[in-house]
Structure 1
């Protein structure tokens, strides 16, 4: 059977001399702790430390990177357990066989790199996935998951995770985070993240009911704009008191708008009553992003922005499986004029910080790097979600370092629901960082000691600075 044996020099330069430099750099950073300030791993996995049930539920069903490519090859997402689709043991094994049979569709993708590392480095799999090896690999992983060494907390420690953030609804009581913070046997840091998108989009269905729920959670009457704003500020402080360091925002664009107090109250009242038209709802949403930035000046939470995605592009798939199941598609975004109102308000305010992520790689050099290269508050977010792949990361490295240097980069962000992919994703980034820095050393643009200092900063210093850790 063909072997699964990830090469130790993968992603490092082909030129032997440059590769040797990269290997020296990588040896110094490969074992550093993982800092993951934005992700989607459920906090209850760590709070309850419940054993993972099976390979499919852990490695396939929650990873939309994996499932979307099988869907493109004709596999029904329901057969993969996506979106809560119920699979019995036979169904889970069948889903795993489908994954192994479709192993060739991942050739050349970052997914292939991650999955090879997960299978080989975590579970000791040495045979390449295929129709012939599927059952044996499933059995090997299932047997491992039945042992204490593969429970969530044990893997957390084994992966070398120091800090990890979850993504949470503003109304969440954060009781899983409370349990982790109170548990002296757990040494890691698990932080909530305030994600208010749906409360800031007055044009969405059910928005008024969401505003009611926010008011209930905050203990504030949200019948007026003043009450709504107070409720948002109250819940932000609640999250900060429970360890949050950032807020997360993803809308159709990053156009921002400043309104006077009277107009904000008027638009809120019209949206609350259901009388607002689409333009009025959009205007309020764009103003609310500025309000979030103003609150960030007050409470110190870091803003992260990641617009430019057409959510639920396949309506039929959304109807069957729900959100976050692989059918979001990138769109173009404009940053420079869009963010001007927000940055005019708070871009130079002491303590304000914002990290700009994008799915539109064309904006790295044209807009994001120049913004990060001027505003002390702006950081260039690492490539993620469609762009967290070798070629896109290389483009980011060149585009941003040329204009803003390395100090304005956020450090790698894994942004994943797939727990076991976290070390593989960070390893991919560290290898690519070392490869890029080695090229700068080989072409005499950096000394090797400077490259090493930069490699360490990208892993350990930059994310702490960007997210105020």
Structure 2
């Protein structure tokens, strides 16, 4: 007997407060910002997708393979990553369908997570799916989505327009030519501003395998001799200018800790020489990287690039998965991190510099209230990055407002950051944030802490004004 279809429903009040006097206020607030343009100042969509504007190949390549939020939960539920095509390009149709069937059969693993919210929104709002993924007819659902991918309205550039994305930042290696960004900027048919982001992590970690070759290549690209420390710094400065010339607004940093501590020039030069010789110690490598984070702040004061800092993640936790599938495949795990002492040398030097915008993120919810909120509540250069990665869920976002906003105030927030490789999830993520922000502000109105016009102005600023201010758009 065939399994009956279960409707895929998107309740109009989803994520809004459950009832009482607060929900009608939240409805009004959300309705006022629901269709405002999306500003996405930090994400990981590949610019080549937008340059080439080639239709997405199949539903698996669009929804499953690039999204480690999806694949890690499926893997935890017992689905091997190789059956999902993780780390591979587009799959042959038989394998793509097999991965899709596994996705549908395991839809229950997403229950209660923001992943289910995003996926349901994508399927229903973009592709008109009307029933839940399940084992009843996964191939029919696959065909329903696949048939729409070649349509003009579902090509990557058209989706930018459909989603209302006016600004989209990518994440890019400092040695990247940025040819894709130049081509997009030169195409008058693209109204969205697509900007690169300078991500120098691999060049600051001098003990990592391949660092020497990477720095040598950086020197070639920058036309600077990186055989000595001064040339290395000059090469990074030159590439930052190249990024800024191609529209970049920020430099992004993620390391094991938030440390920023100066070295004497002679010590930095000595450690750099030891790193080139392959004899640097772990302690020297950490000291050098913390010194270079301070240098990155100095460069941001000089060139104006916003500095975003999100430490405290144990990258590639499972060696076998890293070896088989590569990085960014779902096994990065949060660790504890400290900001107050770690950033004092940086903030002592640059915390009141008018050119520095420093956006701090964490995957430790206690740090937001204990350290980031108070730092953002004093230093004019510091902004509290919104809940990110493992914290980009309804409970954590509500808690963030109840703690950080009470300490620092709404003007000290970054605005929403979607931080995704999954292109079609961008509008769903921003919609989730708008609903949750509307709900929190509605609660302040119902408690007579804000008038409704103040709440509406605050919500509009969070969506439209704050990200432009923080990221200097």
* Structure 2 residues without counterparts, runs of 5 or longer: none
1:106 is matched with which residue? Answer: 110
Paired position in structure 1 for 2:224: 220
Equivalent of 2:46 in 39, 42, 46: 42
Alpha-carbon shift at residue 277 of structure 1 (Å): 1.3
Q: Which residue of 2 aligns with 1:310?
A: 314
Q: How many angstroms does 1:86 deviate by?
A: 6.3
* Alignment coverage as a number of residue pairs: 469
Relative to the length of structure 1, the TM-score reads: 0.99
CA distance in 2, matches of 1:292, 1:245: 14
Q: How does 1:223-302 map to 2 (within 5 A)?
A: 223-302=227-306
After superposition, the C-alpha distances for 1:288-318 in whole angstroms (9 at most, x for unaligned) are 0000000000000000001110000011000
CA contact (8 A) 1:127 1:133 kept: no
Matching residue of 1:142: 146
Equivalent-residue separation in structure 1 for 2:215 and 2:98 (angstroms): 43
Per the alignment, residue 406 of structure 2 pairs with: 402
Pair 148,227 (structure 1): closer, same or farther in 2 beyond 3 Å: same
Moved more, 369-378 or 260-269: 260-269
SS at match of 1:16: coil
Structure 1 match to 2:381: 377
Conservation of the 8 A alpha-carbon contact between 1:29 and 1:430: yes
Tell me which of 52, 65, 87 is aligned to 1:61. 65
Q: For 1:262 and 1:327, how far apart are their aligned partners in 2?
A: 38
Cα deviation, 1:337-364, whole Å, max 9, x if unaligned, reads 0111111121111211110011111101
1:116 aligns with 2:120: yes
Choose the corresponding residue for 1:450, options 448, 454, 467: 454
Structure 1, unmatched stretches of 5+, are none
Do the aligned partners of 1:110 and 1:389 also contact (CA within 8 Å) in 2? yes
Deviations, residues 266-298 of structure 1 (Å, cap 9, x unaligned): 221122212221111111011000000000000
Give the conservation status (yes or no) of the 8 Å contact 1:254–1:335. yes
Tell me what 1:20 maps to.
24
2 CA distance for matches of 1:206 and 1:147?
A: 42
In structure 2, relative to structure 1, the CA distance for the partners of 1:302 and 1:411 (3 Å cut) is same
| Structure 2 partner of 1:2 | 6
Secondary structure of the structure 2 residue equivalent to 1:275: coil
Aligned equivalents of 2:274, 2:72: Cα separation in 1: 40
The answer as to 2:368 corresponding to 1:364 is: yes
Provide the rounded CA distance (Å) in 1 between the counterparts of 2:105 and 2:426: 24
What is residue 325 of structure 1 aligned with on the other side? 329
User: Where in structure 1 do 4 or more consecutive aligned residues deviate above 6 Å?
Assistant: none
Contact 1:38 1:164 in 2 (8 A): yes
Which residue does the alignment assign to 1:154? 158
Distance across 2 between alignment mates of 1:51 and 1:241: 29
What root-mean-square deviation, in Å, do the aligned CA atoms of Structure 1 and Structure 2 show? 0.8
Partner of 1:276: helix, strand, or coil?
A: coil
Contact 1:372 1:404 in 2 (8 A): yes
CA distance in 1, matches of 2:153, 2:93: 23
Secondary structure of 2:116 counterpart: helix
Q: Deviation string for 1:364-399 (max 9, x for gaps)? A: 100000000000000000111111000011111111
Tell me the alpha carbon deviations over residues 131-161 of structure 1, each in whole angstroms, 9 at most, x when there is no partner: 1131111111001112111101111100000
Looking at structure 1, the residues matched to 353 and 276 of structure 2 have their Cα atoms a distance apart, in angstroms, of 32
1:52 touches 1:58 (CA, 8 Å); kept in 2? yes
Give the secondary-structure state (helix, strand or coil) at the position aligned to 1:162.
Answer: strand
